[in-house]
Amino acid sequence: MQQCGNTAWIGFAFFQPTKALLDQDLQEHSDFGDVQHVSFSFADDWVAINGEKNRRGSASGMVILKNSFALGLLASSLIDKQFKLPRWMLFDNIEDKGMVEERSWNFQRLIVALSEQSVVPHQIHIHDVQDRSRT
């Protein structure tokens, strides 16, 4: 995977975790279909699935895409010592944008599974924005 607009290769270490997360989205809610390739540009502010930039779908699908991208970056930093991203991530919108509970819970299980698979020290914080009674 190449970051567009830059010659630096991010590589398989980023593409595979992000694709795997999107593939594990609940099929009855998924906006993504068959994901073959994920690419991005920080400079131009886009993420593309199978070459389709800033793919339009449901609001909750965009939350899954954004969070899968962020978790894919974190996973890459846990795999590759040269990947210069702090091994810390905050997710504050997993239950945002009309996300059904089952889809949110599924993504949270994916976060836990990814975290448990790594032996590299890291932190993941999930902020439940839906439950305002605890604030």
> Does 7 map to a domain?
no
The answer as to whether 5 is a domain residue is no
pTM of the model: 0.83
Look up tokens 């996300």; give the residue: 99
Q: Are 79 and 13 in contact (CB under 8 A)?
A: yes
| CATH at residue 110 | 3.40.50
- What are the tens digits of pLDDT across the range 26-46? 998 888 889 998 888 888 888
Instruction: Tell whether 129 is covered by a domain.
Output: yes
Q: pLDDT per residue over 69-118, tens digit each? A: 999 999 989 988 888 888 999 999 888 778 899 999 999 999 999 999 99
pLDDT-based confidence at residue 129 (cuts at 50, 70, 90): low
The answer for residues whose C-beta is within 8 angstroms of residue 72's C-beta and 6 or more apart is 14, 15, 17, 18, 21, 38
Query: How many domains does the chain fold into?
Result: 1
Residue 40 structural domain? 12-134
Task: Report if residue 108 sits inside a domain.
Answer: yes
Report whether pLDDT(4) > 70: no
